[in-house]
A and B are shown apart, each in its own frame.
Chain A
Amino acid sequence: KAGVTQTPRYLIKTRGQQVTLSCSPISGHRSVSWYQQTPGQGLQFLFEYFSETQRNKGNFPGRFSGRQFSNSRSEMNVSTLELGDSALYLCASSRKESNLWNEQYFGPGTRLTVT
C-alpha cells in the first residue's frame, strides 16, 4: 500500500510569490491534515480536511489556505510568501473522520525555501 505522497519535494520561491503544495493520502484515507515544521517553532498544525470540508484550522494567517478534492487529495496554498514561511510542510492522512483515536500517517514533506 503506497504511503502519503507529497509533491514537490523541494521548492524555492521568492518573497511575495505564492505557492501550491500537493498531498495524496493513503488509499482509502479521507482525512488530510497539514503541519508546518521549522527549527524554531517545531511542528505546528495548519488545518485539516475531511470530505472536502475544512474541519479546523490552526493559528496561521489567512495567507495559508487549502482545499480537498473528491478523491481526498489535498492542496495547500500560501500567498504573498514571507521569509518566515521557509519550512518543511508535512501532510498527514488518516482513515476515518478525524477524532481523538485516529492515527495519522505522515508524508515525506515539501521543503519550501523563500528567498
Chain B
Amino acid sequence: AQSVSQHNHHVILSEAASLELGCNYSYGGTVNLFWYVQYPGQHLQLLLKYFSGDPLVKGIKGFEAEFIKSKFSFNLRKPSVQWSDTAEYFCAVATTINQAGTALIFGKGTTLSVSS
C-alpha cells in the first residue's frame, strides 16, 4: 500500500527565510504527487502537482517542488517565506485502490509558522 511521510511536524521560520518541507512516498508504480495547503480557518487548497515530465514543478504563491524518483521524494520549497504562508502543508500521492478509482493518500502534515 502506498504511504506518505512528512519529516517535519512543525517548522518555525522568520519572514524571508527559505523553506524546504520534506516528503517521501512508498513505491507503487506510477505516482502522481500533490502538495496541498490549509490556511487557518480555510479549506484545503492545491499548491502544486506532479504528473509527469519536468521533475521541477511550480505552483501558486511562489512554491515549487522537486520530484526525485530515485529518492522517492517530493520536497516542497520556497525561497523566501512570508507571514501569510503560515499554514499546514500536506503532501499526497494518488493511488489506485482495488483496481478501480483512486484515492489521495496524505502525509500527516507539517505546520509552518512564520514570524514577522
Contacts and interface: CB of A to CB of B under 8 A. Distances in A.
Interface of A: 3-4, 33, 35, 42-45, 48, 50, 55-58, 90, 92, 98-109
Contacts of A107: 43
Interface of B: 30, 32, 34, 36, 42-46, 49, 51, 90, 92, 94-98, 100-109
If over half of B's interface residues share one DSSP class (helix, strand or loop), that class is named, otherwise mixed; here it is strand
A101 B32 contact: yes
Contacts, number: 69
A55 B100 contact: yes
A56 B101 contact: yes
B26 to A, nearest CB: 15
Contact of A50 (B44, B96, B101, B105): B101
B57 to A, nearest CB: 13
Contacts of B95: 100
B102 A100 contact: yes
